[in-house]
Amino acid sequence: MKGNDSRTFGRAGFDVTLLGYGGAPIGNIFRPIPETDAQAQIAEAWNMGVRSFDTAPMYGHGLSEHRVGHALLTKDREDYVLSTKVGRTLTPAARGSFDTGIWVDTPPFRADFDYSYDAVLRQVEDSLQRMCQDRFDILYVHDVDRYTHGDAQPARFAEALAGAFPALIRLRDEGVVRAIGIGVNEADVCVDALERVDLDCVLLAGRYTLLEQDPVTDLLPLAAERDVAIVLGGVFNSGVLATGAVPGAKFNYQPASEEVLGRVHDIEKFCARHEVPLAAASIQFAAAHPAVRELLLGARNCDQLRQNATWLEHPIPAELWQDLRAAGLILEEAPTPT
């Protein structure tokens, strides 16, 4: 596998690169990234052959969208695929007057959930202006899951069904966007959306990995049947599948449990036997399912970008996958690289 390998984006029909640039880190998640470093990252991704770029208004309260748009401003619009998300309205507000959560040094924009029809149309127009674009390739309804909304999730999902999704269908019909989908942290929410809405794609974060393979029994077969493109984020489960079972390793953005650490340790033993980095096995396993069209991998610097590409290309003997499957660490239904 190579990061600049081209895959058709399901029924939408256009091509994306297997390795997509994930714009969350340059929204200043947890700690700031200087502007020059953010621009250098995107330039490096381009030089590596990456032609798929993803961002969202959430990422740094508009900062990531601004940075990605600025970096692509002089590129030929036909040469890249651009995705962003809807579901949050950014409103000018004085710094310090609103909670930025995990994002630091953000622009002075408050972010409020709104999945209504008119709000989503306005959000898309705002994103087009922030990014100096006339259209998008992919738009996702963002975070209508329990991870984000808890007990309020059913009401938020219903709001999106009545407003956000119809708004995106209109924009698809008008040619403002080529593909529409949902971007969440839970596979069952994706299945629910596919059963109710005419979607082209699904962005699933962290739920189809070497540690979590349940979507291979429901979401992924459904997507393959309907030629819906699957985009995967969080293939390292927010850290533990890159760092290994070390003290302080993160799983789903929290300290990994003993159960998770034990399973990762078991996977690591087989990787060590075959001299394969755990992170390389994690990336390539995620890319192996035929419904998966793209991997969104974030980075904090150019070295991490290059490392992701190196892991994607690392040779892995078939015996590793055979050993992991025999040990019950890979489900029988889950395809592995060939």
Residues identified as active-site? 54, 59, 85
d(CA 232, CA 36): 28
Annotate 173-199 with DSSP letters as a single string. HHTSEEEEEEEES-HHHHHHHHHHS--
Which residues does 169 contact at the CB level (< 8 Å), separation at least 6? Answer: 180, 197, 198
- β-bridge partners, 308: none
d(CA 129, CA 108): 16
Structure token digits, residue 106: 């953000």
Which residues does 324 contact at the CB level (< 8 Å), separation at least 6? Answer: 210, 267, 270, 330
Which residues does 110 contact at the CB level (< 8 Å), separation at least 6? Answer: 61, 90, 91, 92, 93, 97, 98
Q: Say how far residue 132 (Cα) sits from the centre of its chain.
A: 22
Annotate 59-80 with DSSP letters as a single string. TTTTHHHHHHHHHHTTS-GGG-
